């Protein structure tokens, strides 16, 4: 019994010291913004984006060059949405994390144009590289672009497998990274991973920067509503351990979920059901949780939903976000 007690104290001590990490006094906040998600919510994407810039005064964004929107027909590119976003970001002195690839933020995770869906794998990959080349070459001269994100959580292979198939080929992912690095050698490459479900080390060693997601509350068809049984120290421990073995690297919280996880599209879900999954109290709990993870730069997911809720007589999320961004470094 005495030995068990000593071993238990030893393990607790190791966990405690492994979780030690400076907590930033002020956090740099940004948001993910997506034309694709705005349209899902039947919103005027340009109006949402303008309000994020002008009313919330957001200075950090993550954009996604969704392939099916950017190249709806083979070799025919639609630049109108991205051009507008970049131009307005430049006017407002905002900075952009720019995501490119086949697997980008937003369900069903893998986004490809219909003309590419049935192409042989190797041909599809060549087309993907051509699309990435076109995006990077068009926007690499913009002073607003801070980093390039290559794919989204590429090592989370079991999630959205029905849509993505056998998505991951590490050699091809490295080929994408090296392509972007060759096209724009002066900007860093960001590779992301799931905060709760991945070990991080592969994503950490793949890019110049590492980005984690945080989804504290989810809703599963089989298990119902779930709050992951973790504390902010969970993320500090993972980061410390990965850095111990693979070296220190700048890291971001690139996707902090601040909209409800639902079993059907938001526009098909009653407002009361959405509020059961994400009311303002839970919203604040998530913000407070993330503040103690040790990440000094954090990008919130759900800005389009805050606007949607404001338009549906629930402005509390938008107003709370206004407070958050007014205090952002």
Per-residue pLDDT 10s for the chain (329 aa) are 544 333 333 333 344 334 544 788 899 999 999 999 999 999 999 999 999 999 999 999 999 999 999 999 999 999 999 999 999 999 999 999 999 999 999 999 999 999 999 999 999 999 999 999 999 999 999 999 999 999 999 999 988 888 888 888 999 999 999 999 999 999 999 999 999 999 999 999 999 999 999 999 998 878 888 999 999 999 999 999 999 999 999 999 999 999 999 989 999 999 999 999 999 999 999 999 999 999 999 999 999 999 999 999 999 999 999 999 998 86
Q: Is residue 7 part of a domain?
A: no
Q: Is residue 8 part of a domain?
A: no
113 vs 254: CA distance, rounded Å = 25
Q: Is residue 16 part of a domain?
A: no
- What is the pLDDT, as a whole number, of residue 27? 96
- Which tokens go with 268? 């098909």
Boundaries of domain holding 83: 28-326
- What is the pLDDT, as a whole number, of residue 258? 98
Contact in structure between 249 and 229 (CB atoms under 8 Å): no
- What is the pLDDT, as a whole number, of residue 7? 33
Nearest to 228 by CA among 311, 149, 152, 286: 286
- Which tokens go with 188? 């860093």
Which distant-in-sequence residues (6+ apart) come within 8 Å of 118 by Cβ?
Answer: none
Q: What is the DSSP letter of 23?
A: P
300 vs 254: CA distance, rounded Å = 7
- Which tokens go with 131? 């699309």
321 vs 306: CA distance, rounded Å = 8
Determine which helix (DSSP H) or strand (DSSP E) holds 297, and give its type and residue range: strand 297-301
Furthest C-alpha separation in the chain: 72
User: Over the range 295-309, which residues count as b (16 or more CB within 10 Å of their CB) and which as e?
Assistant: bbbbbbbbbbbbbbb
Domain count within the chain: 1
Q: Is residue 1 part of a domain?
A: no
- Which tokens go with 100? 């490119």
Nearest to 134 by CA among 123, 143, 126: 126
195 vs 48: CA distance, rounded Å = 28
Nearest to 321 by CA among 309, 1, 169: 309
Q: Is residue 17 part of a domain?
A: no
- What is the pLDDT, as a whole number, of residue 271? 96
Q: Is residue 5 part of a domain?
A: no
Rounded to whole angstroms, what are the CA distances from 312 to 41, 47, 325? Answer: 12, 16, 22
pTM for the model stands at 0.93
Q: Is residue 297 part of a domain?
A: yes
Domain CATH code at residue 209: 3.20.20.80
- What is the pLDDT, as a whole number, of residue 10? 32
Q: Is residue 11 part of a domain?
A: no
Q: Is residue 11 packed enough to be buried (19+ CB in 10 Å), middle (13-18) or exposed (0-12)?
A: exposed
117 vs 152: CA distance, rounded Å = 19
């Amino acid at each position: 019994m005495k030995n068990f007690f000593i071993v238990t104290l030893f393990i607790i001590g190791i966990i405690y010291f492994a979780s030690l990490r400076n907590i930033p006094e002020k956090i740099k906040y940004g948001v993910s913004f997506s034309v694709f998600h705005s349209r899902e919510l039947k919103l005027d994407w340009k109006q949402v984006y303008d309000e994020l810039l002008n009313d919330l005064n957001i200075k950090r964004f993550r954009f996604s060059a969704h392939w099916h929107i950017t190249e709806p027909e083979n070799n025919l590119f639609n630049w109108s949405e991205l051009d507008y976003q970049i131009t307005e970001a430049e006017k407002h002195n905002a900075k952009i994390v720019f995501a490119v690839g086949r697997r980008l933020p937003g369900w069903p995770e893998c986004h490809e144009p219909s003309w590419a869906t049935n192409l042989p794998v190797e041909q599809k990959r060549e087309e993907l590289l051509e699309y990435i080349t076109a995006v990077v070459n068009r926007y690499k001269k913009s002073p607003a672009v801070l980093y390039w994100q290559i794919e989204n959580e590429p090592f989370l292979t079991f999630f959205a497998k029905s849509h993505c198939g056998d998505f991951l080929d590490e050699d091809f992912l490295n080929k994408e990274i090296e392509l972007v690095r060759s096209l724009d050698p002066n900007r860093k490459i960001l590779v992301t991973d799931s905060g709760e479900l991945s070990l991080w080390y592969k994503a950490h060693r793949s890019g110049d920067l590492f980005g984690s997601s945080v989804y504290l509350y989810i809703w599963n068809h089989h298990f119902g509503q779930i709050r992951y049984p973790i504390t902010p120290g969970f993320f500090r421990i993972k980061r410390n351990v990965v850095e111990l073995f693979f070296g220190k690297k700048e890291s971001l919280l690139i996707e902090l979920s601040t909209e409800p996880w639902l079993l059907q599209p938001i526009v098909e879900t009653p407002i009361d059901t959405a509020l059961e999954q994400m009311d303002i109290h839970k919203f604040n709990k998530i913000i407070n949780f993330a503040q103690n993870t040790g990440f000094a730069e954090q990008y919130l997911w759900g800005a389009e939903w805050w606007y949607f809720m404001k338009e549906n007589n629930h402005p509390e999320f938008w107003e709370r976000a206004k407070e958050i961004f007014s205090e952002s470094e």
